[in-house]
Amino acid sequence: MTAKQDMITQDLAGKIRHGIYTPKSFLPSENELANLYGASRNTVRKSLEDLTSLGLIQKIKGKGSIVLDFSRLSFPISRITTFNELNQSLGLKAETKLLEIKEVKKVPDDFSCDNTEPFIKVKRLRIIDGEPDVLDVDYISTKYVKEISPSVAEHSLYDYFENDLGLKISYAVKDVSVQTVSEELAKMLELDPDRKAVLVKSMVYLEDTSLFQLTASYHNPNRFRFIDFARRSKI
């Protein structure tokens, strides 16, 4: 993504989020957006593709890009997108509260992980518009990352992994389910009395197919929706 494309995506996402472009209204045409931002139509088109992937708009042939209902935040499931990247793309008023960093000998059994080396456990609470929305629990293989500082954990792990350590993060396998969580976690996320949270478990692999990271993300279902993009394919 170019800096210009990123700027256009962030600006349009912010305008949608703040109601400047309302649900069921159309964004300006590609030509109008290109003139508005001083960019090429190709750059504008890529920014619109970003907004489509985020579940903010739907492109209708012959009519343009219609704004979808943005009453809840949309998390892409089929991509490896960090919270910090979503924060920047959507212009959220978000903050990260670091709860824990420590080395652990093993990960929870429900991950079915065969790795024998220790992991660094990073536990973080994501707060948006002053409300606790996501609890992320990451387990990072010490085979590839020896230490993680609090400042890195509060900012962006992937920025550190990719830009400082030069790791090539390639793909992830994800599992989404609804779980009844502990009273402590339910209180932390301000869940309903039934203590139901959406759990997204991810197993992240490097370019050489080595298992690198395990993540359990607990989402408040009242404030988030999850999106994917699928094309019709005949088997």
pLDDT tens readout for residues 43-68: 999 999 988 877 788 888 888 999 98
Q: Specify whether the CB–CB gap between 76 and 227 falls below 8 A.
A: yes
Give which of 128, 140, 131, 129 is closest to 100, Cα–Cα: 140
Q: Is the pLDDT of residue 72 over 60?
A: no
Q: Specify whether the CB–CB gap between 126 and 135 falls below 8 A.
A: yes
Question: Looking at residue 47, which CATH number applies to its domain?
Answer: 1.10.10.10
> Do 199 and 109 sit in the same domain of this protein?
yes
Residue 146 lies in a domain: yes
> Do 96 and 185 sit in the same domain of this protein?
yes
Average pLDDT, the chain: 87
> Do 63 and 110 sit in the same domain of this protein?
no
Residue 53 lies in a domain: yes
Residue 107 lies in a domain: yes
> Do 98 and 207 sit in the same domain of this protein?
yes
Q: What percent of the chain has pLDDT over 90?
A: 59
State how far the Cα of 107 lies from the Cα of 110, in Å rounded to an integer: 8
Residue 163 lies in a domain: yes
Residue 43, domain extent = 4-67
Give which of 221, 224, 192, 178 is closest to 71, Cα–Cα: 224
> Do 91 and 21 sit in the same domain of this protein?
no
> Do 154 and 209 sit in the same domain of this protein?
yes
Residues near 4 by beta carbon (within 8 Å), at least 6 away in sequence: 37, 39, 43
- How many residues comprise the chain? 235
Count of structural domains within the chain: 2
Residue 78 lies in a domain: no
Average confidence (pLDDT) over 150-164: 92
State how far the Cα of 78 lies from the Cα of 55, in Å rounded to an integer: 13
Residue 229 lies in a domain: no
Residue 114 lies in a domain: yes
Q: Specify whether the CB–CB gap between 49 and 7 falls below 8 A.
A: no
The structure tokens listed for 141 are 């293989």
State how far the Cα of 162 lies from the Cα of 141, in Å rounded to an integer: 15
